[in-house]
Structure 1
Amino acid sequence: MEKEKIIEILNEWNYWNRPLPFTYSREKYESEIDKKYKTGEIIFLKGVRRSGKSTILINHIKNLLNEGVAKENILFVNLEDPRFAPYLNLELLEEIKNAYIYYLNPRSKPHIFLDEIQNIDEFEKWLLKEYELKSSFLYATGSNSKLLSKEIGSSLSGRYLDILVYPLSFKEFLSFKGKRVSNEFEYITNKLEIERLFEEFMNYGGFPKIVLTEDSETKKAELKSYFDSILLRDIVARYKLDNFLKLEQLAILLLSNISNLVSNNKLKNILQVSYETIEKYFEYLQNAFLIFTVKKFDWSLKKQMANAKKVYSIDIGLSKRVSFEVGKKKGDLLENIVFLELKRRYEEIFYYKTKENYEVDFLIKENELLTHLIQVSVTLNDEKTLKREIRSLIKAKQELRCDAKLMILTMDESRKMNIESEEVEIVNIIQWLLFS
Structure 2
Amino acid sequence: MQLLREHYLDRLRQFLDAPVITAVTGIRRAGKSVLLRQFADALRSERQVVYVDKESLEFEPVRTARDLIDHVNSTTHRNEPRVVIVDEVQEIDGWERAIASLNGEHKTQVVLSGSNARLLSAELATLIAGRYVTLRVFPLTLREFGELYRQRPNASLDDAGLFHLYLRVGGLPGVLHTDLSDPVVDQMLGDMVNTIAIRDVIRRHRIRDVALFEAITRFAVDSVGSPVSAKRIADFMKSQRRTTAVDTVLNYLAHLGDAFLLEAVPRFDLRGRKLLQVNHKYFLGDVGLRNGIVGYRESDIGGVLENLVFLELRRRGYTVTVGIAGKHEIDFVAEKRSGRCYVQVAYLLESRATIARELNAFDAVRDAYPRVLLSLDPHQPADFEGVRHQSLTTFLRGAPLGASTAT
Q: Which residue of 2 aligns with 1:340?
A: 311
Q: Which residue of 1 aligns with 2:392?
A: 429
| Secondary structure in 2 matching 1:74 | strand
Greater alpha carbon shift after TM alignment, 205-214 vs 319-328: 319-328
1:361-388 Cα distance to aligned partner (Å, 9 max, x none): 011233495x211111101111111011
* 1:162-241 pair list within 5 angstroms: 162-178=134-150, 193-216=158-181, 217-241=183-207
| Residue from 267, 272, 285 that aligns with 1:296 | 267
Q: Is the 8 A contact 2:270 2:324 kept in 1?
A: no
CA distance in 1, matches of 2:384, 2:187: 48
CA change 1:418–1:376 in 2 (3 A) is closer
Asked if 1:60 is matched to 2:31, the reply is: no
CA change 1:326–1:88 in 2 (3 A) is farther
Asked if 1:408 is matched to 2:373, the reply is: yes
Q: Which residue of 2 aligns with 1:396?
A: 364
Q: How far does residue 82 in structure 1 lie from its aligned partner after superposition?
A: 5.8
Higher relative helix content: 1
CA distance in 2, matches of 1:87, 1:41: 23
CA change 1:85–1:236 in 2 (3 A) is farther
Q: Which residue of 1 aligns with 2:64?
A: 89
Q: Which residue of 1 aligns with 2:120?
A: 148
1:375-433 Cα distance to aligned partner (Å, 9 max, x none): 1110111111101111111x121xxx2112111110012633343xxx11111111122
Q: Is the 8 A contact 1:295 1:305 kept in 2?
A: yes
Q: Is the 8 A contact 2:62 2:92 kept in 1?
A: no
Q: How far does residue 306 in structure 1 lie from its aligned partner after superposition?
A: 2.2
CA distance in 2, matches of 1:178, 1:231: 31
Which letter does structure 2 place at the counterpart of 1:79?
A: K
Q: Is the 8 A contact 1:124 1:156 kept in 2?
A: no
Which letter does structure 2 place at the counterpart of 1:90?
A: A
Which letter does structure 2 place at the counterpart of 1:247?
A: F
Q: Which residue of 1 aligns with 2:352?
A: 383
Q: Is the 8 A contact 1:256 1:324 kept in 2?
A: no
Compare CA radii of gyration and give the structure with the larger one: 1
Q: Is the 8 A contact 1:117 1:140 kept in 2?
A: yes
Asked if 1:74 is matched to 2:49, the reply is: yes
Q: Is the 8 A contact 2:283 2:307 kept in 1?
A: yes
| Residue from 3, 11, 16 that aligns with 1:37 | 16
1:264-321 Cα distance to aligned partner (Å, 9 max, x none): 0011122321111101111000000001111111379995242310110111111022
CA distance in 1, matches of 2:130, 2:305: 38
CA change 1:364–1:287 in 2 (3 A) is same
Relative to the length of structure 2, the TM-score reads 0.88
Q: Is the 8 A contact 1:346 1:364 kept in 2?
A: no
Q: How far does residue 124 in structure 1 lie from its aligned partner after superposition?
A: 2.2
Q: How far does residue 147 in structure 1 lie from its aligned partner after superposition?
A: 1.0
1:222-241 Cα distance to aligned partner (Å, 9 max, x none): 11111000011111221222
CA change 1:82–1:234 in 2 (3 A) is farther
CA distance in 2, matches of 1:359, 1:84: 51
Number of residue pairs aligned between Structure 1 and Structure 2: 388
Q: How far does residue 172 in structure 1 lie from its aligned partner after superposition?
A: 1.0
Which letter does structure 2 place at the counterpart of 1:202?
A: L
Greater alpha carbon shift after TM alignment, 227-236 vs 317-326: 317-326
| Secondary structure in 2 matching 1:415 | coil
* Structural RMSD (CA): 2.5
CA distance in 2, matches of 1:302, 1:411: 31
CA distance in 1, matches of 2:225, 2:317: 18
Q: Is the 8 A contact 1:109 1:135 kept in 2?
A: yes
Q: Is the 8 A contact 2:140 2:172 kept in 1?
A: yes
Q: Which residue of 2 aligns with 1:267?
A: 233
CA change 1:50–1:94 in 2 (3 A) is same
Greater alpha carbon shift after TM alignment, 279-288 vs 232-241: 232-241
CA distance in 2, matches of 1:146, 1:254: 20
| Residue from 305, 308, 325 that aligns with 2:279 | 308
Q: Is the 8 A contact 2:270 2:364 kept in 1?
A: no
Gaps of 5+ in 1: 1-21, 180-191
Greater alpha carbon shift after TM alignment, 87-96 vs 374-383: 87-96
